[in-house]
Amino acid sequence: MKKQFIAGNWKMNLTIDEARGLARKLCDESVNSGVVDIGVFPAFVFLRDICEILRGSKVYVGAQNMYLEKSGAFTGEISGPMLRDVGCTHVIIGHSERRTIFHETNSMINSKIKAALSCGLKTIFCVGEKQEERDDDKTNEVVGNQLSEGLAGLTSEQIKELTIAYEPVWAIGTGKTATPEQANEVHTFIRNTIRSKYENDTAQSIRIQYGGSVNSKNADDLLGQPEIDGALVGGASLDVKSFLDIVSAAARSS
């Protein structure tokens, strides 16, 4: 049985004091038994402080994005080695907000995944369809393309360092959640796609999180699905109680 992985994407939210407070509470309260992996993804400018607060705890810290080059004339960007330098172990790549608002393409996301893995950052790779694509019955086609282009050229050793997050765009921040069956169906498709490209072991061991309006009320049903190995949580990760309720739901389904 894989450990579930619950990740909190804080997005562009919180003040530094609020971020520190949230991290301290997590540090105190999530002295987790080790049954569930937990990670938080604060804004870049808070990372160093949050890494400091959570150092020695079981809560991983990661960034919400990074640039694909290691250093150089890329004004305003942050590199993988810089994230490592301040203590991050993880990074999210290909979030739908990066794809839609900042026009990140599958090929750019592929380069970012390679850059992240090459500097030792464990990567959450996000995929997911838009509402109109689901309505047109194109979910598998869209997610299939995101997977084949996003993972192009990666070895099975590298794939093992990834978590895939299935995040239907229509469910992110909308309060609309995929039903547990809808989510499980796409997770099965994702695992089968990985199986068709890599060995069965790789497909079995990779964790696939669900993301999209996960909260303390729907977490049990979603995380109880056989192909769901955790959650990427936006809004509900900003409140320590709701986030830890989701962690508890993950522990129950382990």
List residues near ligand PEP by CB under 6 A.
9, 167, 172-173, 211-214, 232-236
| Known catalytic membership, residue 29 | no
| Active-site residue, from 97, 104, 129, 167 | 167
Which of helix, strand or coil describes residue 240?
helix
| Known catalytic membership, residue 95 | yes
| Active-site residue, from 95, 97, 104, 133 | 95
Which residue pairs, CB below 8 angstroms and at least 24 apart, start in 178-185?
A: 178/210, 178/212, 180/221, 180/222, 180/224, 180/225, 180/228, 181/225, 183/210, 183/222, 183/225, 183/228, 184/225, 184/226, 184/227, 184/228
Name the closest residue to ligand PEP (Cβ): 234
Closer residue to ligand PEP, CB minimum distance, 120 or 173: 173
Closer residue to ligand PEP, CB minimum distance, 88 or 236: 236
CB of 113 to ligand PEP, least distance (A): 17
Q: What angle do CA 68, 71, 76 make, to 5 degrees?
A: 75
CB of 236 to ligand PEP, least distance (A): 6
CB of 234 to ligand PEP, least distance (A): 2
Closer residue to ligand PEP, CB minimum distance, 36 or 236: 236
Tokens representing 105 are 């393409």
Place of tokens 């993950």: 250
Contact predicate 43/78, CB 8 Å: no
Closer residue to ligand PEP, CB minimum distance, 159 or 236: 236
DSSP letter string, 7-74? EEE-TT---HHHHHHHHHHHHHH----SSEEEEEE--GGGHHHHHHHHTTSSEEEEES--BSSSSSS-
Closer residue to ligand PEP, CB minimum distance, 104 or 203: 104
CB of 29 to ligand PEP, least distance (A): 20
- How many CB atoms are closer than 10 A to CB 82? 18
CB of 184 to ligand PEP, least distance (A): 17
Catalytic residues: 95, 167
